[in-house]
Structure 1
Amino acid sequence: MESLRPNYAPLAEGRREIRLLHVAPKDPSQPDSAIASRFSAASLDDNPDYEALSYAWGDHTKEKTIFIDSTSVGITRNLHDALEDLQLAYQERTLWVDAVCINQADNEERTHQVSQMRHVYESASRVIAYLGKEYEGSDAAMEFLEIVGRDPDIHYSPRLNPHIAVHGMDICSEGLRDAIISFLDLDWWKRVWTVQEFALARNSVLQCGDRQLPGSHLIQIYESYMKHAYDCCGGWDYLNAKSAKYGIDIWSALQRIADLNFACTSEELSFLEVLESFRTRHSFDPRDKMYGMLALATGRWENVIEADYTKSTEDVYRALALAATERTGNLGFLSHCYGRRYPELRLPSWIPDWTAIIDEGSHNNLMSRLSTYNLFDASSGALSTLIYQAPKIALVTGVVFDTIQNTGPERGEMGTTPEIMRTWRAMAQIAESHLDVSTGAFWQTICGGLLYERSNAGPSWRRQVPTRDWPLYHKWKTWKFSEDEPSLDSNVQATSFDIAYHITALDRRFVVSRKGHLGFAPVATAAGDVIAILSGVNVPFILRAVSELPDSGSNICYEVIGDCYIHGVMDGEVFTRYAMPLEEIRLV
């Protein structure tokens, strides 16, 4: 039988109507028969009883069929797997499933239904996060997570009792670690839409095959892991051991739970923080990188933009950049301009490309760096202005105060830490023997003016105090240059410096300016690029002069290369010490 589209009767927008899918019970006499179902329309105002499905669409090829109102309808394999595992034996099951309950071919209906997605998931009696069919290792992973979620005091380390053991394996077992990592690497954890679907649920459950895990366990799992990893069970050898099969460690895998915890528990979320937290997640439609998170835009970010599938991706991304400036009064959104841009999108350099390719392992550290920017005030509280001139110019104010003279190699190309330090010191023209506080500009640049500390209240960042923190650099350098290279655990005081060093230098080059400033700038930075302080931004930016555009008059234009750390100008010195006046800067 030919696969057709369902028969979609119009929905009454004024009544907040949605379609519900009623899945008929299994026919025990015909276990291989096609799934039968029917549609009904229901108003959210009437509090209908239904469960909402959250799943990864996967391959969009509609290779499976079900019956909806006696019509054979093509659906994806992932959806068919979900309906097959959710179908009850003796009674009908009422579900809301976005792929079929929304007429995906009708942009007007799609736009309206997406706009009320928050209410759809908040109103559901339960949200079922379906992760896929049972597979080898899924049972062990779910049992591990179930134990941790049920008993937050149980230890990870097999040296302590009681400790976790699953199927005869403890956390030191590569088999158990791989099972946990593979479970947290399923597509559901990497899809954009599943974030708000899970975060908005008043009651949720994760299901893999026919095994379920209460959604409330996820918060307890992450809190337990943080508690034990930093305290009693701090055996970094197994917590940081990368899986040979999946290329990441448990810490990175559990970060996906941490991100969901952030979305579920934060009272007022910055929409830019939400987008950044889940930036490496995927969506078939690039506009959904934004639309799929709109239900999490609260407080001053509420209704920041509207879902509208008649608009191009470029229009949507530009609308957010302009709205972000209006809502926050600053140009902080510019710090999200990084990653390898998607060439099909014709975006100006000053508009973040939310589809940009970013390594997930690096992304967590990049987010940590972004979180430190509120500790700086390079523009000395200057109010931001942004005037948009179609099609691509943004007029802002600021100061172009210096030019890049030398750039170092990428850190990954430079060998050992001692070799890296020698190269950078040579660029800065600092003799190897100079180890006193007089070389403060160098060692403070190495850690980006920051230190990472752990306390009973949790880990946090702080600005360094040169006269007090100089010994930390010396201890860190002694550790890094040691031939025996003792473990970092035996140099605990150097940890805060080491973390700051890696965060500061990540995806950046060491640079020296014509005026002698030291710093770290994006890998794409080249000699001749300029350093600018833009009004309403906490950190400096690297800009690149480009040929004047036909509609820009005789004014020079700049492309945004990215934000940077430049020692000696992070606290408004360009204005307070050098008294440089603001000028108009054209970004393209």
Structure 2
Amino acid sequence: MSAFRSRDHYELYHYTRLSQPNNIRLVRLLPAAIDNDELRVELLEQSLSTADGVYTALSYACGDTSLAIRRPVFCDGRIIKIYPTLHSFLLKIRHQSDATLIWCDGLCIDQGLDAESLKERSHQVQMMFEIYTTAQKVMVDLGDDLGDRHDDFIRSLYELAAVPRQRLGAVVPEKYILECYEDEDDEEDGHEEGDQEEGNVLDQVARKANGAWKPASCLSQHSTLTSSEQSSRSLGEGRSVEAVVEALIRILPDCVRQKWLWTSLFDDLLARPYFRRLWVVQEHALGREIVFMIGRSRVHGSKLARAISRSFTALMSCITTTNAISEAARAVSWRDSKPTPVTFTLRHYKVMNTSGQLSSGLSLLVEQTGSLASADPRDKIYGLLGLCHADERNHPSLYVDYTEPFEDMRLRITRYFLSNGAPFVLYRSVGCGSEAPSPSWTFNFGATEVDTLDDSIFADGTCSGELFSAGYSPCEATQRAFSPLLSDDSPLLTLSAILLPTICTVSSPLAFITHGSDRSVIQKWTSHLLGWAAEQGILIGVDFFAALASTVSADTFDYLGEKHRLSSDAMLPGSGALTASFWDAIKYIKDGVSRIDFPPDLDMRSSAIFTSLVGFATDRAVAIATPTEGLEPLLYLVPECTEPGDVVAVFVGLPTPLVLRPAEPEAGQEGPVFRLVGSAYAHGMMDGQVFSTSLPEQLIHLR
């Protein structure tokens, strides 16, 4: 008979409760002479007050969390089943002769689902700030190696990190070079770069990357110069994009001349699942020192940060604006490949401000990390508390409780945000189309996608480039404050608003078209909307076209031309409501509009102009409001779930209006009651104009 037992015959390990609230468990990873030996560990209880710098914290992507595929770790003659990704990570870091002291959530926190286990997990998650700041370093697992290209890739990464800043400065204008906190010569003097440099580099990369790749509807990033002017002014000294690219290729390592380097560095590495995790934000930001593992190769975080900065320095000098991207620039960049994962990754990779201090605002953190994923939607909040200042992290409304029903937790967090000047949650609400029992105005923080209009609303209720100010929001000097009325005993949210005329008809959604140019998208949309308007008996003339163009584009070019007093041959002169691109599309639709006097042909230099239009309108519908005495019929850009009978309201202190659906008041309740549908763009009402009309301001209730 064999002396060995099958894994199936081992009992599961049972955790004992921690004896003190400030204690944690640490893992003693036992050595093994052979790589494929079973993983064996010991669990030790340790006070955080005496654990400073004695352990390494692990950071990894969970991957598939199915129970059926979990792998065993042997502990005190029993087994603990862990995620395959953690199992692989432990095998990679295990020493052949020495034990290693580590902290990892999959082993150090009881993962049971009973009440006591959930209570422990809640308390331990509340301590994440202390756990990661106490660790000697944070080790990050980025998964498998890169196969046949792995050694070349790692060598290239170090070569990029070693390129002196002075060599870049000889070729690239200063504004495209990512600065560091530490002096660039520190490493040459024998000093290792600190984490401050790493955070600052990645933060700068994020801001610069967002300037180039943020949807064109982010108007503050748009230039009004011609392509040739942009190339000349951006690059300086009249050098063309091609000239800078050629110079960069000469000073960067030989490996950069092969396009695969850029693809590998960004697509193969930064697009890995690890960088899509929400937990990575605080795990990385709180660590004293970061070490990345790519396969079995270890790369110091500062090296990776510098390699990224060198790559982006080259990239940003090539991509001067959305209007000036040459074939030479495309040859050494992956701009047409997968920019989205990289931009959000770098934006949230290290949450640091320019002074190197951790961000303190939970609302800002939540708004910025909305695209990152977590297996448990509650972790979209809990996973960020470690990055808040102590006064907010310990706020009585921000406790961690995995035993609390999710809908109760959602309501608690929404009330906290609204009471603390963060109305952006209303633009990311569950809405009345949700089957959730939560009030329609509660924060849908589990969502990972936000449409362009809602995404322009920042955490404090201001807008991208102060684009909208329908409710005299803090964007404007008038400072009509957002003042919600909340009660712990009621599911109602009471706000001051002006109700606009009721919606009488809604078009079908303006669907995103994956093929064809942006010009063709607008042509199709225009044809669709003209047919819809004709069916409604609307007189089609210049005024209607002007309103339609402004509504679908959310007054994009009015904003540039009028609010900032900019002028360019790329847009119509003055502050007219018609955008050049919209008219340029409309003029191809001749039927029924021959009487319209179209502007002359314009040189449409860039599809980015069209993108700025389709971004706001994609997947939204156009609605027409019932005329009210003293007002012209109103056009709205509304969520696709909007129905006739819904009402658009301009709320005091909110930058854009909201679509509401009438609801029955409860017995004895005074004032109108609605359920929230979503945000809207109301033509002619986006700069506080509604407050100069005869429409009354009133208190309304949202359920």
Contact 2:348 2:369 in 1 (8 A): no
- Find the residue that maps to 2:572 and give its secondary structure: helix
Alignment equivalent of 2:572, drawn from 440, 445, 470:
470
Does residue 398 (structure 1) correspond to residue 497 (structure 2)? The answer is: yes
Alignment equivalent of 2:339, drawn from 244, 251, 262:
251
- Find the residue that maps to 1:276 and give its secondary structure: helix
**Cα distance in 2, alignment partners of residues 95 and 51 from structure 1:** 5
2:20 is matched with: 12
**Cα distance in 1, alignment partners of residues 39 and 93 from structure 2:** 11
Q: Tell me the amino acid that sits aligned with residue 470 of structure 1.
A: L
1:116 is matched with: 127
Alignment equivalent of 2:645, drawn from 528, 531, 535:
528
1:52 is matched with: 57
**Which structure's residues are more often strand, by fraction?**
1
Structure 1 residue 297: Cα displacement: 2.8
Structure 1 residue 280: Cα displacement: 3.3
Aligned length: 553
TM-score by length of 2: 0.69
Structure 1 residue 290: Cα displacement: 1.3
Relative distance call for 1:168 and 1:581 in structure 2 (3 A) is closer
Structure 1 residue 68: Cα displacement: 2.4
Structure 1 residue 506: Cα displacement: 3.5
Relative distance call for 1:128 and 1:225 in structure 2 (3 A) is same
1:100 is matched with: 107
**Cα distance in 2, alignment partners of residues 564 and 72 from structure 1:** 55
Relative distance call for 1:563 and 1:297 in structure 2 (3 A) is farther
Pairs within 5 Å for 1:204-223 = 204-217=290-303, 219-220=305-306, 223=309
Structure 1 residue 375: Cα displacement: 4.0
**Cα distance in 2, alignment partners of residues 341 and 98 from structure 1:** 36
Contact 2:430 2:440 in 1 (8 A): no
Contact 1:20 1:101 in 2 (8 A): yes
1:420 is matched with: 525
Pairs within 5 Å for 1:364-375 = 367-368=455-456, 370=458, 371-372=463-464, 374-375=466-467
Q: CA offsets per residue over residues 123-147 of structure 1, 9 Å max, x none?
A: 2111111122335478366666555
Contact 2:452 2:616 in 1 (8 A): no
Relative distance call for 1:225 and 1:133 in structure 2 (3 A) is closer
- Find the residue that maps to 2:437 and give its secondary structure: coil
Does residue 271 (structure 1) correspond to residue 278 (structure 2)? The answer is: no
Alignment equivalent of 2:681, drawn from 565, 575, 578:
565
1:580 is matched with: 695
Contact 1:507 1:522 in 2 (8 A): yes
Contact 1:6 1:68 in 2 (8 A): no
Contact 2:431 2:440 in 1 (8 A): no
Structure 1 residue 413: Cα displacement: 6.4
Alignment equivalent of 2:617, drawn from 505, 517, 520:
505
Q: CA offsets per residue over residues 243-286 of structure 1, 9 Å max, x none?
A: xxxxxx33112113322246244753542332233223332322
Does residue 42 (structure 1) correspond to residue 46 (structure 2)? The answer is: yes
Relative distance call for 1:529 and 1:417 in structure 2 (3 A) is same
Q: CA offsets per residue over residues 201-249 of structure 1, 9 Å max, x none?
A: 121122121123332356556655554444335447565666xxxxxx3
Q: Tell me the amino acid that sits aligned with residue 408 of structure 2.
A: D
**Cα distance in 2, alignment partners of residues 378 and 221 from structure 1:** 44
Structure 1 residue 97: Cα displacement: 0.5
Relative distance call for 1:277 and 1:78 in structure 2 (3 A) is same
Relative distance call for 1:397 and 1:339 in structure 2 (3 A) is closer
Alignment equivalent of 2:429, drawn from 309, 323, 337:
337
Q: CA offsets per residue over residues 531-580 of structure 1, 9 Å max, x none?
A: 0022332211011113x1555747553221111221222222222x1153
1:487 is matched with: none
2:263 is matched with: 177
**Cα distance in 2, alignment partners of residues 143 and 365 from structure 1:** 43
Q: Tell me the amino acid that sits aligned with residue 62 of structure 2.
A: W
CA RMSD across the alignment: 3.9
1:457 is matched with: none
Q: Tell me the amino acid that sits aligned with residue 404 of structure 2.
A: K
**Cα distance in 2, alignment partners of residues 289 and 341 from structure 1:** 22
Pairs within 5 Å for 1:103-182 = 103-105=110-112, 106-136=117-147, 139=150, 147-151=159-163, 153=168, 159-160=246-247, 161-162=249-250, 170-171=258-259, 177=263, 180-182=266-268
1:63 is matched with: 70
State percent identity of aligned pairs. 21
2:211 is matched with: none
Q: Tell me the amino acid that sits aligned with residue 498 of structure 2.
A: V
Does residue 24 (structure 1) correspond to residue 30 (structure 2)? The answer is: yes
Structure 1 residue 475: Cα displacement: 4.5
Structure 1 residue 101: Cα displacement: 0.8
Does residue 449 (structure 1) correspond to residue 555 (structure 2)? The answer is: yes
- Find the residue that maps to 2:420 and give its secondary structure: helix
Contact 1:141 1:183 in 2 (8 A): no
Q: CA offsets per residue over residues 446-493 of structure 1, 9 Å max, x none?
A: 43234699xxxxxx999565988634965534775799xxxxxx855x
Contact 1:388 1:395 in 2 (8 A): no
Contact 1:451 1:497 in 2 (8 A): no
Q: Tell me the amino acid that sits aligned with residue 326 of structure 1.
A: S
Relative distance call for 1:535 and 1:9 in structure 2 (3 A) is same
Q: CA offsets per residue over residues 6-41 of structure 1, 9 Å max, x none?
A: 54352411xx2221111122224xx43212221223
- Find the residue that maps to 2:656 and give its secondary structure: coil
**Cα distance in 2, alignment partners of residues 423 and 240 from structure 1:** 35
**Cα distance in 1, alignment partners of residues 433 and 522 from structure 2:** 30
2:373 is matched with: 282
Contact 2:637 2:680 in 1 (8 A): yes
- Find the residue that maps to 1:134 and give its secondary structure: coil
1:246 is matched with: none
Structure 1 residue 419: Cα displacement: 2.7
Pairs within 5 Å for 1:80-95 = 80-95=87-102
Larger relative CO (CA 8 A, sep 6+): 1 or 2? 2
Relative distance call for 1:147 and 1:504 in structure 2 (3 A) is farther
1:456 is matched with: none
Alignment equivalent of 1:409, drawn from 476, 494, 508:
508
**Cα distance in 1, alignment partners of residues 147 and 433 from structure 2:** 37
**Cα distance in 2, alignment partners of residues 424 and 223 from structure 1:** 46
Relative distance call for 1:191 and 1:232 in structure 2 (3 A) is closer
Alignment equivalent of 2:657, drawn from 540, 553, 567:
540
Relative distance call for 1:540 and 1:168 in structure 2 (3 A) is closer
**Cα distance in 1, alignment partners of residues 156 and 452 from structure 2:** 24
**Cα distance in 1, alignment partners of residues 46 and 418 from structure 2:** 39
1:295 is matched with: 386
Relative distance call for 1:131 and 1:587 in structure 2 (3 A) is same
Give unmatched runs, 5+ long, in structure 2.
Answer: 1-8, 173-240, 320-324, 473-479, 514-519, 589-602, 628-632
Q: CA offsets per residue over residues 416-435 of structure 1, 9 Å max, x none?
A: 32232344467496857x49
**Cα distance in 2, alignment partners of residues 462 and 119 from structure 1:** 50
Q: CA offsets per residue over residues 97-151 of structure 1, 9 Å max, x none?
A: 1111112332222122111101111121111111223354783666665555554
Q: Tell me the amino acid that sits aligned with residue 508 of structure 1.
A: R
Does residue 188 (structure 1) correspond to residue 290 (structure 2)? The answer is: no
**Cα distance in 2, alignment partners of residues 461 and 221 from structure 1:** 40
**Cα distance in 2, alignment partners of residues 392 and 350 from structure 1:** 9
**Cα distance in 2, alignment partners of residues 464 and 497 from structure 1:** 17
Structure 1 residue 166: Cα displacement: 8.2
Relative distance call for 1:365 and 1:278 in structure 2 (3 A) is farther
2:197 is matched with: none
Task: Name which of structure 1's ranges 405-414 and 121-130 shifts more when overlaid on structure 2.
Answer: 405-414
Relative distance call for 1:408 and 1:440 in structure 2 (3 A) is same
Contact 1:240 1:251 in 2 (8 A): yes
Q: Tell me the amino acid that sits aligned with residue 553 of structure 2.
A: C
2:233 is matched with: none
Task: Name which of structure 1's ranges 218-227 and 527-536 shifts more when overlaid on structure 2.
Answer: 218-227
